[in-house]
Amino acid sequence: MKTLVSPTEVVTIVFGTTHSLRPESIPQHTILSAQRRLLRPVVGEELYDHLVSNSPAEPYVAMFEEYLKTPLALYAAQLALPTIAAQVGTAGVVRLQGEGFEPLDGPSVEALRRRLRADADALLDAATDHLAAHPELYPLYNPAQNVRSRISLKGGVCL
């Protein structure tokens, strides 16, 4: 499967630089998971398949770059955050701790994950608003397939 954003782009978009976090910290499978679990149900099967095709049409490429790349990067980072907080190696699962560093506790990591998800959700909603407002430019987008228009989440409860 084709990833729509690279690990380097995820790190740069979300954290601003690749100096604080290596791109290898964002596995390809995490990006693919974010695409399939969080982007595809919102943009719909037809538009998603077109985006991951080898030759998407220009209006869709530009729309992805402007509206969908940032929320996808935020989703991928949100999914990868627990793995980033811990390292797996010959010593087992460990948390790296150096001089001058203090690891975040579980609730703080979870708060950061919620914040990344909320930002991604807001930007994805803006993207779908743009897609729905311009059906002549994006005929592959079907607003009826957007799962976010069929359900809502309030306080973590699916309504």
> Per-residue pLDDT tens for 131-152?
999 999 999 999 999 988 776 6
**Structural tokens at position 106:** 């579980």
Q: Is the pLDDT of residue 94 over 70?
A: no
Half-sphere exposure of 78 (CA within 13 A, CB side): 23
Report the alpha-carbon distance of residue 136 to residue 61 in Å, rounded.
16
Contact 34, 79 (CB under 8 A): yes
Assign 62 to helix, strand or coil.
Answer: helix
Q: If you average pLDDT over every residue of the chain, what do you get?
A: 87
User: Using one digit for the tens of pLDDT, what is the confidence trace for 20-36?
Assistant: 778 888 999 999 999 99
What is the arithmetic mean of pLDDT over 51-80?
95
